[in-house]
Structure 1
């Protein structure tokens, strides 16, 4: 199963996260975002979560105030895609502790890290939430070590230039 792109859209139509696994120019990306938000946002909750669009299929699921949209090929499995969406949301939920839109706005880089651990080049990479969260924690530890090293180097330079 190939995922072409992932888009997170708020109910107001604001794009909160995009990840492109197929080549699209910036103009095409803007057009895709406009078209899909115009198609998905007005749909009622009673309609199915699949939309055929430009020879592809968009599978989406609304969680709270966000729509998680994944674009796949027409012959790919929609239910598998819904399970990937749910897996991503559950992982975000465990990481942030009841994730909300503001978590994604202010910590978008962490949402990208988690998505990158789950999906690789548009294919499912990691199915274990525990492993994903462990890898994210290890990555955060590396960032902290790098910050500490940067601070100590800055202190050494400051003392040397006095």
Structure 2
């Protein structure tokens, strides 16, 4: 099971954090700080896999990928394959690149809703739903069309008694 998806910048500021097991906000912030502490202390030439027993409890692992100024992180248990999790990070990044034409940190900050839509298409309740970036993009485009259509509908009453336009 996937326990958390995080994206943070190189200063440790979380740009996206979604926990799939219930955690109070202060505990989530503590976990994010702990994960960043581990990631920033690692050399560039070491593995992207980290045992996370001391942070998330027994049977926890972290896989991460560093792109430009962002760390993309998945926290999961031993029921998941480490290489598959690394591939899922790649799917997430590819999908974000397709949505935002070279995704950057500001895209994550200003498109919070769309980012969560993408996450919800890839993961649900800590389980992997989709591993194809193209399929995720199709779903996101359909959702965007539906949102646009629902936002353009305006309801005008047939008659309003006692109202006079001025």
Task: Report if TM-score (shorter chain) is over 0.5.
Answer: yes
Partner of 1:58: 62
3-state SS of 1:137 partner: helix
Change (3 A) 1:75 1:138: closer
The whole-number CA distance in structure 2 between the counterparts of 1:9 and 1:133 is 23
Runs of 5+ in structure 2 lacking a partner? none
Q: Which has the higher helix share?
A: 1
CA offsets 1:8-43 (integer angstroms, 9 cap, x no match): 010011100011111212222121011111111232
Q: Could you say what secondary structure the match of 2:41 adopts?
A: coil
Shift of 1:75: 5.4
Aligned counterpart for 2:143 among listed residues 139, 142, 158: 139
Is 1:118 aligned with 2:122? Answer: yes
The whole-number CA distance in structure 2 between the counterparts of 1:87 and 1:22 is 22
What is aligned with 1:31? 30
Instruction: Give the structure 1 partner of residue 93 of structure 2.
Output: 89
Give the Cα–Cα distance (whole angstroms) in 1 for the partners of residues 63 and 133 of structure 2. Answer: 21
State whether structure 2 residue 47 is matched by structure 1 residue 19.
Answer: no
SS of residue in 2 equivalent to 1:43: coil
TM-score normalized by the length of structure 2: 0.87
Give the TM-score of the pair, scaled to structure 1: 0.89
How many residues are paired up? Answer: 156
Q: Aligned with 1:47: secondary structure?
A: coil
Deviations 1:39-71 (A, max 9, x none): 112322112111212221111111111101100
Residue 8 (structure 2) aligns with: 9
SS at match of 1:38: helix
Higher-Rg member (1/2) = 2
Moved over 6 A (4+): none
Give SS of 1:72's match. Answer: strand
Identify the residue that residue 81 of structure 2 maps to in structure 1.
77
Residue 102 of structure 1, aligned match among 106, 111, 123: 106
